[in-house]
Amino acid sequence: MLFNSVEFLVFLPAVFFLYWALQKHSLRIQNLFLIVASYFFYGWWDWRFLSLIVISSLVDYLVGIRLGVTKAPGKRKTLLVISLMVNLGFLGVFKYFNFFAENLVQAFTFMGSPIEMSRLNIILPVGISFYTFQTLSYSIDVYRGKLEPTRDPVAFFAFVSFFPQLVAGPIERATNLLPQFSRPRVFSEASSVDGLRQILWGLFKKVVIADNCAEIANATFATPGEYSGSALALGAMFFTFQIYGDFSGYSDIAIGTARLFGFNLMRNFAFPYFSRDIAEFWRRWHISLSTWFRDYLYIPLGGSVGGTGRRIRNTFIIFAVSGFWHGANWTFISWGVLNALYFLPLLLTQKNRRFTHGVAEGRRLPGLKEGLQILSTFTMTVFAWIIFRAGSLAQAGEILARIFSQSLFSPPALKVGMAVDSLGGLILLLVVVEWIQRDRQHGLDLNGRKLPAYLRWGIYYSIIILIIKFQGVQQEFIYFQF
């Protein structure tokens, strides 16, 4: 079920009113209702894959229980391995089996000893990378002693399947979200109103920005040979805003929806295109994933402790694995490695933590130096997104070659989608609003701003009109495929 669908427009208010009506009963009943609603939400795509969520939830719940009573280090490691094998095993089979099989066949063929391997003709379950990482965080934290295992299966199953962030995050930590299922929730009008504002802004980014950018980006990346370098550069620019509007829009809707039910999810985006270097970008983009890899992979590998060689190794591992998490394709791995190369000079000069404060603090506009830093980081990101979006490394090479040719200076001719100037104006509106709001949680965060009622409602209705007027062809959220 898509957030930007008629079905969800019916589903959300129905679940909302029933959920709060059950508050007079028990917390357990409320949690059971959330499980049913979440399973219905997920099963709307394909009910057969609900079994994976159930198995993953059951295994990690039981592993947590056993970890809570087992003291022997060897047995505790065995329990953790069971959790890792089940969750990563699901990923390995459904997401990566065909990738490894195809590359193994190619390797043996290259060495002159061709072999044959069967492929799995299966659909990738929606959101599998998200909920498996979420349950793994629970098992790892219990193993490390950072979290007491829960003995409430209802709360745990609700934590794993919570529908707002089930399919595309944020990837919640058990330490943050699980305790919220164990204490009564109280309806807050202020929190709900702000949640609705965040949902509205997320819909604007998805429906108006991402879906319209997708038409142009899809066309240019599908047949790059038909376009000039200037058109391909423009297509890459539109994809840059498509993936941001799409994914951060989903996160806004998820976080806002959760607030309607009395839950606080972690922030997943912090206006990343205003970053002044690539290290700051990764502190602002897909925060739940980057911090997950930091805590559960980078630090266990040694992090930044040790010699330069170890720090370089760990940096490349973390970025390559992050790329591979996105999909079973060399384009994603190469995208991760390219970001590691971007990051390397900052690491070697120990400047990777220089921008931990806000952009242009206390000023309306950035200074010349800050502006150039933002522009250069954005440009680097655009080129990285070309590799990410391309269907293959060969296609990425073709696109880059055409961009860096004389045709870059020819007028761009785009054959589909909304008029470029109209879409450019909408993107400019997005950038201006988020620049003004850059020190806040989301683009429509009006908490503390003393705006008259007519102006607030004027903003809301204006955005709704833009959504209705400029809605593009409905597209699935990009990160559903991951």
Percent of the chain topping pLDDT 70: 99
- Which residue did the predictor score with more confidence, 53 or 411? 53
Q: Which two tokens stand for residue 459?
A: 């903003």
Q: Are the CB atoms for 344 and 315 separated by under 8 Å?
A: yes
Exposure class string for 84-101: b at 16+ Cβ within 10 A, else e: eebbeebbeebbebbeeb
Sign of CA pseudo-dihedral 397, 400, 402, 404: negative
Q: Do the Cβ atoms of 366 and 298 come closer than 8 Å?
A: no
Helices (H), 261-307: 278-284, 287-293
CA atoms within 13 A on the CB side of 159: 32
Q: What is the DSSP string of 417-457?
A: SS-HHHHHHHHHHHHHHHHHTTTSSSTT--TT----HHHHH
Mean pLDDT of 382-386: 97
Q: Which amino acid appears at position 118 of this protein?
A: S
Gap between the Cα atoms of 333 and 330, Å rounded: 5
- CB-based burial of residue 411 (10 Å sphere; 0-12 exposed, 13-18 middle, 19+ buried)? exposed
Q: What is the mean pLDDT of residues 244-268?
A: 95
Q: Average pLDDT, stretch 465-477?
A: 83
Cα angle 345-284-246, degrees, rounded to a multiple of 5: 120
Find the mean pLDDT for residues 164-171: 89
pLDDT of residue 417: 62
Which one, of 155, 172, 193, lies nearest residue 288 by Cα? 172
| Contact present, 297 and 179 (Cβ < 8 Å) | no
What's the confidence (pLDDT) of residue 155?
Answer: 95
- pLDDT (0 to 100) of residue 15: 96
Q: How far apart are CA 310 and CA 308, in angstroms?
A: 5
Tell me the angle at which helices 128-144 and 153-161 cross, rounded to the nearest 10 degrees.
140
Joined tokens for residue 299? 């630090």
DSSP state of 146: S
**Cα 209 from chain centroid (whole Å):** 17
Residue type at 427?
Answer: I
What is 99-133 written as a DSSP string? HHHHHHHHHHHHTT----------PPPTTHHHHHH
- What residues are labeled active site? 326
Residue 479 above 90 pLDDT?
no
Q: How far apart are CA 330 and CA 236, in angstroms?
A: 19
Q: What is the pLDDT of residues 43-89, one digit of tens each?
A: 888 888 899 999 999 999 999 999 999 999 999 999 999 999 999 99
pLDDT confidence bin for 418, thresholds 50/70/90: low
- What is the token pair recorded at 126? 């929606």
Closest CA to 187 of 30, 365, 415: 30
Residues 360/366/369/371 CA torsion (nearest 10 deg): 120
- Chain centroid to Cα 112, Å, comes to 41
Residue 27 is predicted with a pLDDT of: 92
Task: Kindly tell me if the per-residue pLDDT of 202 is higher than 90.
Answer: yes
What helix, strand, coil percent values describe the chain, rounded to 5? 70, 0, 30
* Averaged confidence pLDDT in the chain: 91
Backbone dihedral region of 108: left (phi > 0), alpha (psi from -120 to 50 degrees) or beta? Answer: alpha
Distances (CA, A) of 124 to 54, 327, 367: 17, 10, 46
Would you place residue 392 in the very low, low, confident or very high pLDDT band (cuts 50, 70, 90)? very high
The rounded distance, in Å, linking the Cα atoms of 482 and 473 is 21
Lowest mean pLDDT among 1-10, 232-241, 243-252, 454-463: 1-10
Query: What kind and span of H or E run contains 212?
Result: helix 211-222
Are 358 and 280 spatial neighbours (Cβ–Cβ below 8 Å)? no
Question: How big is the CA angle at 291 (ends 289 and 296), to the nearest 5 degrees?
Answer: 95
